[in-house]
Structure 1
Protein backbone atom coordinates (compact mmCIF):
# COMPACT_ATOMS: atom_id res chain seq x y z
CA UNK A 1 0.00 0.00 0.00
CA UNK A 2 1.12 3.61 -0.51
CA UNK A 3 2.03 4.77 2.99
CA UNK A 4 3.02 8.20 1.69
CA UNK A 5 -0.61 9.21 1.23
CA UNK A 6 -1.74 11.92 3.63
CA UNK A 7 -5.00 11.96 5.56
CA UNK A 8 -6.70 10.37 8.57
CA UNK A 9 -6.72 6.94 6.90
CA UNK A 10 -3.16 7.06 5.60
CA UNK A 11 -1.49 3.68 5.88
CA UNK A 12 -4.77 1.84 6.51
CA UNK A 13 -6.20 -0.82 4.23
CA UNK A 14 -9.99 -0.99 4.09
CA UNK A 15 -12.17 -3.66 2.52
CA UNK A 16 -15.54 -2.24 1.41
CA UNK A 17 -18.10 -4.81 0.32
CA UNK A 18 -20.67 -3.91 -2.31
CA UNK A 19 -18.48 -0.99 -3.38
CA UNK A 20 -19.29 -0.78 -7.08
CA UNK A 21 -22.24 1.57 -6.52
CA UNK A 22 -24.29 3.54 -4.02
CA UNK A 23 -23.07 3.88 -0.44
CA UNK A 24 -20.19 1.49 -1.09
CA UNK A 25 -18.80 3.47 -4.01
CA UNK A 26 -19.16 6.73 -2.09
CA UNK A 27 -17.35 5.14 0.85
CA UNK A 28 -14.51 3.91 -1.36
CA UNK A 29 -14.07 7.44 -2.72
CA UNK A 30 -13.92 9.02 0.75
CA UNK A 31 -11.51 6.40 2.10
CA UNK A 32 -9.23 6.89 -0.89
CA UNK A 33 -9.47 10.68 -0.53
CA UNK A 34 -8.50 10.36 3.14
CA UNK A 35 -5.35 8.43 2.30
CA UNK A 36 -6.51 4.86 2.76
CA UNK A 37 -5.93 1.89 0.52
CA UNK A 38 -9.33 0.58 -0.52
CA UNK A 39 -10.32 -2.90 -1.65
CA UNK A 40 -13.42 -2.51 -3.80
CA UNK A 41 -15.57 -5.63 -3.59
CA UNK A 42 -18.26 -6.28 -6.18
CA UNK A 43 -20.56 -9.18 -6.93
CA UNK A 44 -21.43 -8.90 -10.63
CA UNK A 45 -21.07 -5.29 -11.79
CA UNK A 46 -17.50 -5.54 -13.02
CA UNK A 47 -17.81 -2.54 -15.32
CA UNK A 48 -18.85 -0.21 -12.49
CA UNK A 49 -16.10 -1.54 -10.23
CA UNK A 50 -13.44 -1.05 -12.89
CA UNK A 51 -14.73 2.44 -13.66
CA UNK A 52 -14.46 3.32 -9.97
CA UNK A 53 -10.91 1.95 -9.80
CA UNK A 54 -9.94 3.99 -12.87
CA UNK A 55 -11.53 7.09 -11.35
CA UNK A 56 -9.55 6.69 -8.11
CA UNK A 57 -6.36 5.67 -9.87
CA UNK A 58 -2.96 4.97 -8.37
CA UNK A 59 -1.78 2.03 -6.32
CA UNK A 60 -4.19 2.43 -3.41
CA UNK A 61 -7.17 0.69 -5.00
CA UNK A 62 -7.76 -3.01 -5.63
CA UNK A 63 -10.71 -4.99 -6.94
CA UNK A 64 -12.06 -8.26 -5.60
CA UNK A 65 -15.10 -10.13 -6.91
CA UNK A 66 -17.33 -12.60 -5.11
CA UNK A 67 -20.91 -13.67 -4.48
CA UNK A 68 -21.40 -13.07 -0.76
CA UNK A 69 -24.42 -15.37 -0.66
CA UNK A 70 -21.90 -18.20 -1.11
CA UNK A 71 -19.93 -18.84 2.11
CA UNK A 72 -16.94 -20.20 0.18
CA UNK A 73 -16.85 -17.13 -2.06
CA UNK A 74 -17.13 -14.90 1.00
CA UNK A 75 -14.07 -16.58 2.51
CA UNK A 76 -12.20 -16.10 -0.77
CA UNK A 77 -13.09 -12.39 -0.86
CA UNK A 78 -11.51 -11.90 2.54
CA UNK A 79 -8.44 -13.95 1.64
CA UNK A 80 -7.90 -12.03 -1.59
CA UNK A 81 -8.26 -8.68 0.16
CA UNK A 82 -5.58 -9.70 2.67
CA UNK A 83 -3.37 -11.01 -0.11
CA UNK A 84 -3.38 -7.84 -2.20
CA UNK A 85 -2.85 -5.52 0.78
CA UNK A 86 -0.77 -7.65 3.10
CA UNK A 87 -3.16 -6.85 5.93
CA UNK A 88 -6.60 -5.32 6.40
CA UNK A 89 -7.17 -2.66 9.06
CA UNK A 90 -10.87 -1.96 8.58
CA UNK A 91 -13.78 -4.04 7.28
CA UNK A 92 -16.79 -2.13 5.97
CA UNK A 93 -19.77 -4.48 5.71
CA UNK A 94 -21.83 -2.54 3.18
CA UNK A 95 -23.12 -5.14 0.70
CA UNK A 96 -26.82 -5.85 1.07
CA UNK A 97 -30.16 -5.73 -0.66
CA UNK A 98 -33.77 -4.88 0.18
CA UNK A 99 -35.21 -8.29 -0.68
CA UNK A 100 -38.94 -8.91 -0.40
CA UNK A 101 -40.40 -11.79 1.62
CA UNK A 102 -44.18 -11.52 0.94
CA UNK A 103 -46.18 -13.39 3.54
CA UNK A 104 -49.01 -14.62 1.27
CA UNK A 105 -46.80 -16.78 -0.95
CA UNK A 106 -44.96 -19.57 0.85
CA UNK A 107 -42.36 -20.04 -1.86
CA UNK A 108 -41.54 -16.33 -2.07
CA UNK A 109 -41.58 -16.10 1.73
CA UNK A 110 -39.06 -18.93 2.08
CA UNK A 111 -36.87 -17.60 -0.71
CA UNK A 112 -36.97 -14.10 0.75
CA UNK A 113 -35.84 -15.28 4.17
CA UNK A 114 -33.08 -17.45 2.71
CA UNK A 115 -31.69 -14.66 0.53
CA UNK A 116 -32.02 -11.95 3.18
CA UNK A 117 -30.27 -13.97 5.85
CA UNK A 118 -27.52 -15.09 3.47
CA UNK A 119 -26.63 -11.62 2.17
CA UNK A 120 -27.72 -9.24 4.92
CA UNK A 121 -26.65 -11.26 7.97
CA UNK A 122 -24.58 -14.40 7.39
CA UNK A 123 -22.11 -12.83 4.94
CA UNK A 124 -21.27 -9.82 7.13
CA UNK A 125 -21.10 -12.13 10.17
CA UNK A 126 -18.64 -14.44 8.39
CA UNK A 127 -16.52 -11.51 7.22
CA UNK A 128 -16.56 -10.08 10.73
CA UNK A 129 -15.31 -13.42 12.05
CA UNK A 130 -12.45 -13.44 9.55
CA UNK A 131 -11.66 -9.84 10.43
CA UNK A 132 -11.55 -10.52 14.18
CA UNK A 133 -9.15 -13.43 13.70
CA UNK A 134 -6.96 -11.29 11.45
CA UNK A 135 -7.08 -8.23 13.73
CA UNK A 136 -6.04 -10.30 16.74
CA UNK A 137 -2.85 -11.18 14.87
CA UNK A 138 -2.15 -7.58 13.83
CA UNK A 139 -2.80 -5.51 16.93
CA UNK A 140 -6.44 -4.56 16.37
CA UNK A 141 -8.76 -3.14 13.74
CA UNK A 142 -12.29 -1.97 13.16
CA UNK A 143 -15.53 -3.22 11.64
CA UNK A 144 -18.13 -0.75 10.39
CA UNK A 145 -21.41 -2.33 9.29
CA UNK A 146 -24.20 -0.68 7.35
CA UNK A 147 -27.46 -1.49 9.12
CA UNK A 148 -30.73 0.34 8.48
CA UNK A 149 -33.50 2.39 10.01
CA UNK A 150 -35.32 -0.94 9.78
CA UNK A 151 -32.91 -2.34 12.37
CA UNK A 152 -34.73 -0.25 14.98
CA UNK A 153 -38.32 -0.08 13.83
CA UNK A 154 -38.72 -3.12 11.59
CA UNK A 155 -39.63 -2.91 7.92
CA UNK A 156 -42.90 -3.09 6.00
CA UNK A 157 -45.12 -6.14 5.64
CA UNK A 158 -43.36 -7.33 2.47
CA UNK A 159 -39.85 -6.97 3.93
CA UNK A 160 -40.08 -8.61 7.35
CA UNK A 161 -36.99 -10.73 6.69
CA UNK A 162 -34.93 -7.69 5.72
CA UNK A 163 -35.84 -5.89 8.93
CA UNK A 164 -35.06 -8.97 11.00
CA UNK A 165 -31.66 -9.44 9.38
CA UNK A 166 -30.74 -5.79 9.84
CA UNK A 167 -31.88 -5.91 13.46
CA UNK A 168 -29.60 -8.88 14.08
CA UNK A 169 -26.68 -6.92 12.61
CA UNK A 170 -26.92 -4.48 15.52
CA UNK A 171 -26.75 -7.34 18.03
CA UNK A 172 -23.67 -8.64 16.20
CA UNK A 173 -22.03 -5.22 16.29
CA UNK A 174 -22.67 -4.74 20.00
CA UNK A 175 -21.46 -8.23 20.83
CA UNK A 176 -18.22 -7.75 18.89
CA UNK A 177 -17.62 -4.38 20.55
CA UNK A 178 -18.14 -5.83 24.03
CA UNK A 179 -16.35 -9.09 23.42
CA UNK A 180 -13.20 -7.94 21.65
CA UNK A 181 -12.43 -4.44 22.93
CA UNK A 182 -9.58 -5.95 24.92
CA UNK A 183 -7.97 -6.91 21.60
CA UNK A 184 -8.30 -3.30 20.40
CA UNK A 185 -11.01 -4.40 17.97
CA UNK A 186 -13.69 -1.77 17.47
CA UNK A 187 -17.16 -2.27 16.01
CA UNK A 188 -19.70 0.29 14.83
CA UNK A 189 -22.90 0.38 12.83
CA UNK A 190 -24.51 3.10 10.76
CA UNK A 191 -28.25 3.03 10.21
CA UNK A 192 -29.38 5.03 7.16
CA UNK A 193 -32.95 5.70 6.16
CA UNK A 194 -33.70 6.33 2.51
CA UNK A 195 -30.47 7.02 0.64
CA UNK A 196 -30.28 8.37 -2.91
CA UNK A 197 -29.17 5.14 -4.57
CA UNK A 198 -30.76 2.90 -7.18
CA UNK A 199 -32.18 0.81 -4.33
CA UNK A 200 -34.39 3.73 -3.30
CA UNK A 201 -35.32 4.94 -6.78
CA UNK A 202 -38.53 2.95 -7.03
CA UNK A 203 -39.50 3.33 -3.39
CA UNK A 204 -39.27 7.09 -2.89
CA UNK A 205 -41.15 9.42 -5.20
CA UNK A 206 -40.21 13.08 -5.54
CA UNK A 207 -43.31 13.98 -3.52
CA UNK A 208 -42.33 11.62 -0.73
CA UNK A 209 -38.81 13.05 -0.67
CA UNK A 210 -40.16 16.57 -0.34
CA UNK A 211 -42.11 15.46 2.73
CA UNK A 212 -38.95 14.35 4.54
CA UNK A 213 -37.74 16.75 7.28
CA UNK A 214 -34.76 17.94 5.22
CA UNK A 215 -36.81 17.88 2.02
CA UNK A 216 -34.48 15.40 0.34
CA UNK A 217 -33.33 11.80 0.41
CA UNK A 218 -30.00 11.31 2.21
CA UNK A 219 -27.04 11.53 -0.19
CA UNK A 220 -24.64 8.55 -0.11
CA UNK A 221 -21.80 10.95 0.68
CA UNK A 222 -23.27 11.65 4.13
CA UNK A 223 -23.18 7.95 4.98
CA UNK A 224 -19.71 7.55 3.50
CA UNK A 225 -18.27 10.42 5.53
CA UNK A 226 -19.62 8.87 8.73
CA UNK A 227 -18.18 5.46 7.87
CA UNK A 228 -14.77 6.96 7.09
CA UNK A 229 -14.76 8.89 10.36
CA UNK A 230 -15.51 5.74 12.37
CA UNK A 231 -12.89 3.82 10.37
CA UNK A 232 -10.24 6.42 11.17
CA UNK A 233 -10.00 5.52 14.86
CA UNK A 234 -10.95 9.03 15.99
CA UNK A 235 -13.92 7.74 18.02
CA UNK A 236 -12.57 4.66 19.78
CA UNK A 237 -14.87 5.03 22.78
CA UNK A 238 -17.91 5.08 20.54
CA UNK A 239 -17.32 1.39 19.84
CA UNK A 240 -20.58 -0.54 19.97
CA UNK A 241 -22.60 2.50 18.92
CA UNK A 242 -25.00 2.87 16.01
CA UNK A 243 -25.10 6.19 14.17
CA UNK A 244 -28.49 6.98 12.64
CA UNK A 245 -28.37 8.82 9.29
CA UNK A 246 -31.97 9.51 8.35
CA UNK A 247 -32.23 13.29 8.01
CA UNK A 248 -34.50 13.22 11.09
CA UNK A 249 -37.02 11.06 9.24
CA UNK A 250 -36.65 8.52 12.03
CA UNK A 251 -35.46 9.77 15.41
CA UNK A 252 -35.03 7.60 18.53
Structure 2
Protein backbone atom coordinates (compact mmCIF):
# COMPACT_ATOMS: atom_id res chain seq x y z
CA UNK A 1 0.00 0.00 0.00
CA UNK A 2 1.52 3.31 -1.07
CA UNK A 3 -0.44 5.42 1.42
CA UNK A 4 -3.19 4.81 3.96
CA UNK A 5 -6.49 6.42 2.96
CA UNK A 6 -8.66 4.38 5.30
CA UNK A 7 -11.85 6.25 6.17
CA UNK A 8 -11.52 8.66 3.24
CA UNK A 9 -14.17 9.06 0.57
CA UNK A 10 -13.15 10.25 -2.88
CA UNK A 11 -14.96 11.42 -6.00
CA UNK A 12 -12.97 10.82 -9.18
CA UNK A 13 -14.34 12.31 -12.39
CA UNK A 14 -13.69 10.50 -15.64
CA UNK A 15 -13.05 7.33 -13.68
CA UNK A 16 -13.89 4.62 -16.19
CA UNK A 17 -10.62 4.63 -18.14
CA UNK A 18 -7.02 5.78 -18.17
CA UNK A 19 -5.73 7.94 -15.33
CA UNK A 20 -9.13 8.02 -13.67
CA UNK A 21 -9.49 4.24 -13.57
CA UNK A 22 -5.93 3.79 -12.31
CA UNK A 23 -6.61 6.36 -9.58
CA UNK A 24 -9.85 4.64 -8.59
CA UNK A 25 -8.05 1.30 -8.22
CA UNK A 26 -5.20 2.74 -6.18
CA UNK A 27 -7.39 4.86 -3.91
CA UNK A 28 -9.55 1.80 -3.21
CA UNK A 29 -6.50 -0.40 -2.53
CA UNK A 30 -5.29 2.31 -0.16
CA UNK A 31 -8.47 2.05 1.89
CA UNK A 32 -10.69 4.79 0.47
CA UNK A 33 -14.26 4.48 -0.68
CA UNK A 34 -14.69 5.93 -4.13
CA UNK A 35 -17.40 7.49 -6.25
CA UNK A 36 -16.64 6.70 -9.88
CA UNK A 37 -18.00 9.30 -12.25
CA UNK A 38 -18.34 8.41 -15.91
CA UNK A 39 -20.07 9.77 -18.97
CA UNK A 40 -19.85 7.37 -21.92
CA UNK A 41 -17.76 4.48 -20.59
CA UNK A 42 -20.55 2.63 -18.82
CA UNK A 43 -19.31 -0.90 -19.49
CA UNK A 44 -15.79 -0.10 -18.27
CA UNK A 45 -17.16 1.74 -15.23
CA UNK A 46 -19.38 -1.18 -14.25
CA UNK A 47 -16.54 -3.68 -14.60
CA UNK A 48 -14.25 -1.57 -12.44
CA UNK A 49 -16.92 -1.01 -9.81
CA UNK A 50 -17.63 -4.75 -9.72
CA UNK A 51 -13.94 -5.47 -9.18
CA UNK A 52 -13.80 -3.06 -6.24
CA UNK A 53 -17.17 -4.00 -4.74
CA UNK A 54 -20.36 -2.07 -4.13
CA UNK A 55 -19.47 -1.38 -0.50
CA UNK A 56 -16.45 0.63 -1.60
CA UNK A 57 -17.37 1.97 -5.05
CA UNK A 58 -20.45 3.84 -6.22
CA UNK A 59 -21.20 4.78 -9.82
CA UNK A 60 -22.59 8.15 -10.92
CA UNK A 61 -23.14 9.04 -14.56
CA UNK A 62 -23.09 12.68 -15.65
CA UNK A 63 -22.48 14.42 -18.97
CA UNK A 64 -20.38 17.40 -17.95
CA UNK A 65 -21.06 19.10 -21.27
CA UNK A 66 -24.46 19.94 -19.88
CA UNK A 67 -24.80 22.96 -17.64
CA UNK A 68 -25.91 21.92 -14.18
CA UNK A 69 -24.57 18.38 -14.47
CA UNK A 70 -21.57 19.04 -12.21
CA UNK A 71 -23.74 20.22 -9.32
CA UNK A 72 -25.99 17.18 -9.76
CA UNK A 73 -22.90 14.94 -9.78
CA UNK A 74 -21.71 16.43 -6.51
CA UNK A 75 -25.07 15.95 -4.80
CA UNK A 76 -25.33 12.33 -5.97
CA UNK A 77 -21.76 11.63 -4.85
CA UNK A 78 -22.36 12.97 -1.35
CA UNK A 79 -25.55 10.91 -1.13
CA UNK A 80 -23.65 7.75 -2.06
CA UNK A 81 -21.45 7.64 1.05
CA UNK A 82 -22.61 10.60 3.15
CA UNK A 83 -19.67 12.91 2.48
CA UNK A 84 -16.66 13.53 0.23
CA UNK A 85 -13.11 14.13 1.50
CA UNK A 86 -11.23 14.16 -1.79
CA UNK A 87 -12.17 15.48 -5.21
CA UNK A 88 -10.05 14.33 -8.15
CA UNK A 89 -10.93 16.30 -11.28
CA UNK A 90 -9.73 14.08 -14.10
CA UNK A 91 -12.52 14.18 -16.70
CA UNK A 92 -11.55 16.20 -19.76
CA UNK A 93 -12.58 16.72 -23.34
CA UNK A 94 -9.87 16.43 -25.98
CA UNK A 95 -11.35 17.18 -29.40
CA UNK A 96 -8.89 18.13 -32.17
CA UNK A 97 -9.92 21.26 -34.05
CA UNK A 98 -8.32 22.73 -37.16
CA UNK A 99 -8.09 26.44 -37.86
CA UNK A 100 -10.01 25.98 -41.10
CA UNK A 101 -12.93 24.21 -39.41
CA UNK A 102 -16.39 25.52 -40.18
CA UNK A 103 -17.47 28.32 -37.88
CA UNK A 104 -20.21 26.18 -36.35
CA UNK A 105 -17.75 23.41 -35.49
CA UNK A 106 -15.20 25.92 -34.18
CA UNK A 107 -17.75 27.50 -31.84
CA UNK A 108 -19.14 24.17 -30.65
CA UNK A 109 -15.78 22.53 -29.89
CA UNK A 110 -14.47 25.61 -28.08
CA UNK A 111 -17.68 25.84 -26.04
CA UNK A 112 -17.72 22.13 -25.17
CA UNK A 113 -14.03 22.11 -24.26
CA UNK A 114 -14.31 25.07 -21.92
CA UNK A 115 -17.52 23.69 -20.43
CA UNK A 116 -16.08 20.27 -19.56
CA UNK A 117 -12.50 21.27 -18.76
CA UNK A 118 -13.14 24.52 -16.89
CA UNK A 119 -16.75 25.47 -16.16
CA UNK A 120 -17.87 22.04 -14.91
CA UNK A 121 -14.85 21.91 -12.61
CA UNK A 122 -15.60 25.41 -11.34
CA UNK A 123 -19.14 24.22 -10.60
CA UNK A 124 -17.75 21.19 -8.74
CA UNK A 125 -15.46 23.43 -6.72
CA UNK A 126 -18.38 25.73 -5.94
CA UNK A 127 -20.38 22.76 -4.63
CA UNK A 128 -17.45 21.19 -2.80
CA UNK A 129 -16.15 24.22 -0.92
CA UNK A 130 -19.06 24.66 1.54
CA UNK A 131 -18.84 20.90 2.19
CA UNK A 132 -15.07 21.04 2.76
CA UNK A 133 -15.33 24.13 4.97
CA UNK A 134 -17.08 21.97 7.57
CA UNK A 135 -14.47 19.24 7.92
CA UNK A 136 -11.66 20.00 5.49
CA UNK A 137 -10.95 18.39 2.16
CA UNK A 138 -8.51 18.01 -0.70
CA UNK A 139 -8.66 18.64 -4.43
CA UNK A 140 -6.36 17.19 -7.08
CA UNK A 141 -6.83 18.61 -10.56
CA UNK A 142 -5.40 16.77 -13.56
CA UNK A 143 -4.09 19.43 -15.94
CA UNK A 144 -1.41 18.96 -18.62
CA UNK A 145 2.03 20.16 -19.54
CA UNK A 146 0.16 21.84 -22.41
CA UNK A 147 -1.13 24.36 -19.87
CA UNK A 148 2.44 25.68 -19.52
CA UNK A 149 4.20 25.04 -22.82
CA UNK A 150 1.21 25.22 -25.17
CA UNK A 151 0.15 22.54 -27.63
CA UNK A 152 -0.07 21.92 -31.35
CA UNK A 153 -2.34 24.08 -33.47
CA UNK A 154 -5.22 21.62 -33.51
CA UNK A 155 -5.18 21.46 -29.69
CA UNK A 156 -4.76 25.12 -28.78
CA UNK A 157 -8.23 25.19 -27.22
CA UNK A 158 -7.34 22.20 -25.06
CA UNK A 159 -4.15 23.90 -23.85
CA UNK A 160 -6.11 27.07 -23.09
CA UNK A 161 -8.65 25.14 -21.03
CA UNK A 162 -5.93 23.44 -19.00
CA UNK A 163 -4.24 26.78 -18.37
CA UNK A 164 -7.53 28.07 -17.01
CA UNK A 165 -7.85 24.98 -14.80
CA UNK A 166 -4.41 25.65 -13.32
CA UNK A 167 -5.30 29.25 -12.45
CA UNK A 168 -8.64 28.20 -11.01
CA UNK A 169 -7.13 25.50 -8.79
CA UNK A 170 -4.33 27.76 -7.58
CA UNK A 171 -6.97 30.31 -6.61
CA UNK A 172 -8.69 27.68 -4.49
CA UNK A 173 -5.41 26.81 -2.78
CA UNK A 174 -4.59 30.46 -2.12
CA UNK A 175 -7.97 31.44 -0.74
CA UNK A 176 -8.92 28.37 1.30
CA UNK A 177 -5.69 27.00 2.78
CA UNK A 178 -6.47 28.59 6.16
CA UNK A 179 -9.79 26.72 6.14
CA UNK A 180 -8.16 23.31 5.95
CA UNK A 181 -8.67 22.86 2.21
CA UNK A 182 -5.73 21.81 0.06
CA UNK A 183 -5.63 21.90 -3.73
CA UNK A 184 -2.97 20.45 -5.99
CA UNK A 185 -2.36 20.15 -9.73
CA UNK A 186 -0.72 17.30 -11.60
CA UNK A 187 0.45 18.04 -15.11
CA UNK A 188 1.20 14.91 -17.15
CA UNK A 189 2.81 14.82 -20.54
CA UNK A 190 2.09 11.87 -22.83
CA UNK A 191 0.39 9.07 -20.88
CA UNK A 192 -0.26 5.66 -22.38
CA UNK A 193 -4.05 5.70 -22.04
CA UNK A 194 -6.71 4.25 -24.31
CA UNK A 195 -7.17 7.73 -25.76
CA UNK A 196 -3.48 8.01 -26.66
CA UNK A 197 -3.18 4.61 -28.28
CA UNK A 198 -4.62 5.94 -31.54
CA UNK A 199 -2.14 8.84 -31.48
CA UNK A 200 0.72 6.43 -30.81
CA UNK A 201 -0.39 4.26 -33.72
CA UNK A 202 -0.47 7.27 -36.05
CA UNK A 203 2.66 9.15 -34.98
CA UNK A 204 4.75 6.30 -33.67
CA UNK A 205 6.04 6.08 -30.12
CA UNK A 206 9.60 7.02 -31.07
CA UNK A 207 8.44 10.30 -32.59
CA UNK A 208 6.34 11.14 -29.53
CA UNK A 209 9.27 10.47 -27.21
CA UNK A 210 11.85 12.54 -29.10
CA UNK A 211 11.70 15.37 -26.54
CA UNK A 212 11.20 13.16 -23.47
CA UNK A 213 14.63 12.67 -21.84
CA UNK A 214 13.39 9.75 -19.73
CA UNK A 215 12.76 7.93 -23.00
CA UNK A 216 9.56 6.16 -22.05
CA UNK A 217 5.83 6.79 -22.05
CA UNK A 218 4.24 7.55 -18.71
CA UNK A 219 1.62 5.09 -17.47
CA UNK A 220 -1.73 5.87 -15.83
CA UNK A 221 -0.50 4.09 -12.70
CA UNK A 222 2.44 6.50 -12.42
CA UNK A 223 0.06 9.46 -12.40
CA UNK A 224 -2.26 7.69 -9.96
CA UNK A 225 0.67 7.21 -7.56
CA UNK A 226 1.18 10.97 -7.39
CA UNK A 227 -2.53 11.64 -6.97
CA UNK A 228 -2.79 9.18 -4.08
CA UNK A 229 0.27 10.67 -2.39
CA UNK A 230 -1.14 14.19 -2.61
CA UNK A 231 -4.48 12.92 -1.33
CA UNK A 232 -2.83 11.36 1.70
CA UNK A 233 -2.14 14.65 3.46
CA UNK A 234 1.59 13.93 3.58
CA UNK A 235 2.36 17.01 1.48
CA UNK A 236 0.00 19.64 2.89
CA UNK A 237 2.55 22.43 2.46
CA UNK A 238 2.65 21.72 -1.27
CA UNK A 239 -0.91 23.01 -1.63
CA UNK A 240 -1.18 25.13 -4.76
CA UNK A 241 1.79 23.39 -6.37
CA UNK A 242 1.91 21.71 -9.74
CA UNK A 243 3.61 18.32 -9.98
CA UNK A 244 5.06 17.76 -13.45
CA UNK A 245 4.82 14.17 -14.67
CA UNK A 246 6.42 14.35 -18.11
CA UNK A 247 9.75 12.56 -18.09
CA UNK A 248 11.72 15.85 -17.86
CA UNK A 249 10.25 17.11 -21.15
CA UNK A 250 9.14 20.39 -19.62
CA UNK A 251 9.86 22.39 -16.45
CA UNK A 252 8.08 25.54 -15.37
Per-residue Cα deviation, 1:77-128 (whole angstroms, up to 9, x for no partner): 1101000110000100000022223222222221221111011111111111
From 46, 59, 67, give the equivalent of 1:63: 59
Match runs of 1:180-219 below 5 Å: 180-204=176-200, 205-209=204-208, 211=210, 212-219=212-219
Partner of 2:246: 246
Deviation at 1:58, TM superposition (A): 5.2
Preserved contact between residue 89 and residue 142 of structure 2 (Cα < 8 Å): yes
Q: Where do 5+ consecutive residues of structure 1 fail to align?
A: 1-5
Residue 7 of structure 1 deviates from its aligned partner by 5.4
- Pick one of 16, 21, 32 that aligns with 1:20: 16
Q: Deviations over 1:8-42 (max 9, x none)?
A: 21100000000000000000001001100011100
SS of structure 1 residue aligned to 2:72: helix
Q: Distance in 1 between matches of 2:121 and 2:129?
A: 12
CA contact (8 A) 1:209 1:216 kept: no
Alpha-carbon distance in 2 for matches of 1:29, 1:218: 17
How many Å apart are 1:209 and its aligned residue?
Answer: 4.6
TM-score calculated relative to the size of structure 2:
0.93
Q: Secondary structure at the match of 1:251?
A: coil
2: distance between equivalents of 1:77 and 1:149? Answer: 27
| Aligned residue pair count | 247
Counterpart check, 1:89 vs 2:85 = yes
**Do the aligned residues in 2 keep the contact of 1:16 with 1:38 (CA within 8 Å)?**
yes
Q: Structure 2 unaligned runs (5+)?
A: none
Q: Which protein, 1 or 2, shows the higher relative CO under an 8 Å CA cutoff with sep ≥ 6?
A: 2
* Structure-1-length-normalised TM-score: 0.93
- Runs of 4 or more, structure 1, over 4 Å off, are none
- Tell me the equivalent position of 1:162: 158
